[in-house]
Structures are given as structure tokens and as C-alpha cells.
Amino acid sequence: MINSSAGRLYVVATPIGNLGDLSARARDILQSSALIAAEDTRHTGALLKHCGIHTPMVSLHEHNELERTPDLVARMRAGAAIALVSDAGTPGISDPGFGLVRAAAAAGLAVTAIPGPCAAVAALSIAALPTDRFCFEGFLPARSAARRARLEELASEPRTLVFYESPHRVHGMLEDCAGSFGPTRLAAVAREITKLHETVYHGSLEELARRAGAEADFSRGEIVVVIAGAPPAERAAAGADGHGGALDRALKPLLAELPLKQAARLAALIAAVRDNEAYRRALELKQQAT
């Protein structure tokens, strides 16, 4: 039950680049709140100065959120209205804030969204890929082996995929995506959304990976990668082995060089499936090829 006599938490979306995207409502909330919990007070301070807002701030980031949350909840229980902001976009979306939101809700405090910019949704809206169903994956693991393992799990996902990626990793990420999803899977890379040098690159994963390695501007600024979901044929192949298509990718070259039983046995080891599963799928692939 919401405690109507207490304060509340406002989750305020702030611009991801263009300061003109701060809504009038967000400006009013930042002005009237007793305190602003900001991911980086220096970054938010520049926004507040631009808007002529003098509300006091306290930092709330991944390293101190657990420690700061009880005090912020206590202030709201005493009647204070607190605005939560991240450096850019919507708090909690690959940014700090979830812990405070959860604690406020658990304490019976009102939590109100002040909606606005979100890089994931903005990129999806201009990617020219299906938007009726999508899933947000945030940042992939930084290390290539862990990243490829996660991508294998997503290879048969039918919904459009949305990722955040750092500039210095986007080339390797796109190469890994092409290896896991196939080089012809369509994708878009949006960089510097709402900023002066906003650019959206469209093409296959192979084409985008090549451009990322050849064009310096491709790997500059804030980046969102949007990838089409697996088409029906790929999902059917993945469903046959339950391992995101890993068995098929192992079987196809082996069947071209080895007898069926031997190819199936080796593919089972590579894809970490049972021998009988690999043998059954090998038979299916043989039949499809004839």
C-alpha cells in the first residue's frame, strides 16, 4: 500500500545528447524536488546549470547505491520528494537506480516515472528493423569468449535484439555477432543519437563488421546495435538441437568430409549434445540435402 503522507521517488529521464529533449515536466520535477540522486553529480550539474536549476544533489552510482539507498528511503518517508537521474536517458536501463526504485516500492513509497529519452528505444525506432517485438540485452560481456557464449544463446531468438556497446569493442562485437548469427543477418548501428554527428549504419552483420574495422568514425561516440531476430528457417534448425544452432554448424562441414556416424559423433562432442541427438540431426540434414 502506498503511503500518501510520505514523499516520493521520481524516476526522471534526461537527454541522451540534445539538451532540448528535456521535457517541461522533467524540468519542473528537477526544480521542485528536495534532492536529486545523480549517477555523476558533475555531469548532472552541467544539465542543471543549463536549465538554471539549483536543487541539491547526491551521487548514486553502482559503487555506492547499496550504501546510500537506506538514507534516501528515510528522507522520502519523512516527506521529501527525490528525483533519480542517470548521466543520460532513463535511470535503471543499463544505468544505476534499480536498487533505489525497488527499495522505495518495498517501503510503500510512490514511485513515479517522468518518461523521456532512452537510447535503446530511440535506436530501435530508426533502425528499419521489426519493432513489434524486441528484447533489450544491454551490454554484452567484454571478453570475446564470454560474449560469443551469450550470442550463441541468442542465435535463435526471434525478436529484434537491442544492445549497447562501447566504441572500442563494437568491431569485435559485430564480428562475433556475424559468427554466431550468420553474416547475412540484417542489423543497424546507431551512434551519437540526437547529437551533431548522429549516424545510422544499415546492412548485414558482415558488412557492418567490415565498416567498423575500416571507418574511424564508426567507432566513435555512444553506440546502440540493433539486430534482426532469427528468421523461421534458422529457428527451426536451432530447435532441432536446442543449442542455438551450434550442432548444425558443427555437422554441416563434418558431413561434407566424413561418414555420417563419425560426423555425428564428433559434432556431439563439439556441440556438447548426446550422440543420439547428433545422429538424428545428421540424418535429417542428409535427407534435406538429397
Number of domains making up the chain = 3
The secondary structure of 121-163, three-state, reads HHHHHHCCCCCCCEEEEEECCCCHHHHHHHHHHHCCCCCEEEE
* 242-264 pLDDT per residue, tens: 554 678 888 889 988 898 989 88
Q: Give the pLDDT score at 241.
A: 47
* 207-243 pLDDT per residue, tens: 999 999 999 999 999 999 999 999 875 555 555 445 5
Residue 3 located in a structural domain: no
What does the DSSP 8-state code read for residue 14? B
Same domain, 44 and 130: no
Same domain, 129 and 196: yes
Same domain, 169 and 153: yes
Same domain, 41 and 79: yes
Residue 2 located in a structural domain: no
Same domain, 83 and 149: no
What does the DSSP 8-state code read for residue 186? E
Residue 86 located in a structural domain: yes
Q: Give the pLDDT score at 33.
A: 98
Ranges of the chain with pLDDT below 70: 1-5, 233-245, 290
94 burial level (CB within 10 Å; 0-12, 13-18, 19+): middle
Same domain, 17 and 103: yes
Where does a domain end: 117, 138, 156? Answer: 117
- What CATH number does the domain containing 156 carry? 3.30.950.10
Residue 163 located in a structural domain: yes
Q: Give the pLDDT score at 233.
A: 59
> Looking up cell 536451432, which residue turns up?
238
Please give the grid coordinates belonging to residue 28.
Answer: 519542473
What does the DSSP 8-state code read for residue 229? P
Same domain, 93 and 136: no
Where does a domain end: 117, 148, 170? Answer: 117
Phi, psi of 84 (to 5 degrees): -100, 125
* CA–CA separation, 168 and 88 (whole Å): 20
Same domain, 137 and 66: no
Residue 235 located in a structural domain: no
Same domain, 124 and 225: yes
The secondary element (H helix, E strand) that includes residue 286 is: helix 275-289
- What CATH number does the domain containing 83 carry? 3.40.1010.10
* CA–CA separation, 263 and 279 (whole Å): 8
| Residue ranges making up the domain that contains 169 | 120-230
> Looking up cell 522533467, which residue turns up?
26
Alpha helices, DSSP H only, in 89-242? Answer: 98-106, 119-126, 144-154, 170-181, 205-214, 232-241
Convert 162-184 to b/e letters by CB count within 10 Å (16 or more is b).
bbbbeeebbbbbbbbbbbbbbee
Where does a domain end: 117, 151, 166? Answer: 117
Sign of CA dihedral 152, 153, 156, 160: negative
Same domain, 14 and 112: yes
